[in-house]
Amino acid sequence: MNFVEELKWRGMIHDIMPGTEDQFQKEMTSAYIGFDPTSDSLHIGSLVQIMILVHLQICGHKPIALVGGATGMVGDPSGKSEERNLLDEKTLNHNLSCVQNQLERFLDFDCGENSAEVVNNYDWFKEFNFLDFIRDIGKHVSVNYMMAKDSVKSRLETGMSFTEFSYQLVQGYDFYWLWKNKNCKVQLGGSDQWGNIVTGTELVRRKGGGKAFAVTTPLIKKADGGKFGKTESGNVWLDKTKTSPYKFYQFWLNSTDEDSKKYIKIFTLLSQTEIENLMDEHDKNPHLRILQKAIADEVTTRVHSKEDLQMAIKASNILFGKSTTEDLKSLDEETFLSVFEGVPQFEMKKQDLELGILDVVAEKTKIFGSKGEARRMIKSNAVSINKDKITEDVQLSENDLLNGKYILAQKGKKNYFLIIIS
């Protein structure tokens, strides 16, 4: 399988250095992408780069994921309007460990000569003192060359620290070190990284007398111009404690038709034929959201698990489809609370369960303004407890508690209320 051709039809190439495709065709090639550990989880913006490494390995090449223990202490100015906060060593090491664990979910680390590898640039920078660096590395790259980079030019008016200015040299040396010690000939990254990557190829040429290559991917934008991977509540993370599998699933499910046609190529491993067939089906019946479901299923399974996917689907059906009390009871507490985040909440004592249902929904919780209103809606079959329609004589008990402390009340089709029992 031709790696570059695979990326091209998926729309995953922005820039490519001449000779790169020939290099991949000539032999098994090691290529790397850097991930700076600015958080203890990667987000779906990083997923583009992860998928490139996955495709690289499927095509028979060797992926190297560099976690930036050293560069994480400096901060990359690319695409930034201001300098970011630097991390202390304890936080950095924690983030590194978490990021590495996430990367290991996607790549095969035991498949022979093209097994994936994770490296940490702190390992080669920790013994490198400042004077040695500016003498041995700095002399190979002119200030004029560094200032011509877009990531630098865009910041000159607002100000840029020497720390950030030096970042491209540090990243360039990463590439040189991997070329020299790991026979790594290609660096991959987002389009905002082109300047930093090219600095690395220059170092390989000037200091090592070798040849190295570069490939960058487009920065993913939503059809409406909004930033990909951002929601009202912030980033969509790969760590389920930061973004629940349900919310993760919903992100993909709620993407537009236009975005989905792009995402399905980038974020899934479905073949060109499979994707074209799905697109045809989707265009015939867009209301079925075939593309969105295919993406959500595959990406949620890959990032989390099949079990998490099933839980997310069940959770989605509770709000948006037909579901049962049993479905509700099968949700773990985290998913349950994620689904009903933001719905009105009421607290009630366990002994209050013995009261009649009218007292519960109209007196103890104020779901209804009066018992009369509650009675009328119950008689019209418009009130549910834990997804079951109720009558006026229903009696609540501890057996009705979800996860031992919740009751879900529903008024009409869309009005949910969470009763928390203490």
In whole angstroms, give the CA distance from residue 377 to residue 386: 16
pLDDT above 70 covers a percentage of the chain that reads 90
What tens digit of pLDDT does each residue of 81-119 get? 444 456 777 888 888 889 888 998 899 999 999 999 999
∠ CA(24), CA(18), CA(32), 5° rounding?
50
Predicted confidence at residue 151, as pLDDT, reads 65
pLDDT band of residue 141 (cuts 50, 70, 90) is confident
Predicted confidence at residue 83, as pLDDT, reads 44
In whole angstroms, give the CA distance from residue 414 to residue 117: 49
What value does the mean pLDDT of the chain take? 88
Residues with Cβ within 8 Å of 405's Cβ and at least 6 positions away in sequence, in order, are 420, 421, 422
The residue ranking higher by pLDDT, 84 or 247, is: 247
The residue ranking higher by pLDDT, 305 or 413, is: 305
What tens digit of pLDDT does each residue of 20-40 get? 999 999 999 999 999 988 889
- Walk me through the domains of the chain, giving residue ranges and CATH numbers: 3-217 (3.40.50.620), 230-331 (1.10.240.10), 345-421 (3.10.290.10)
Instruction: Dig out the tokens for 28 from the structure.
Output: 């098994």
Q: Is the pLDDT of residue 147 over 80?
A: no
Whole-Å CA distances, 339 to 256, 300, 332, 386, 411: 21, 16, 11, 14, 17
What tens digit of pLDDT does each residue of 332-388 get? 898 999 889 889 999 999 999 989 999 999 999 989 999 999 999 999 999 999 999
Predicted confidence at residue 413, as pLDDT, reads 82
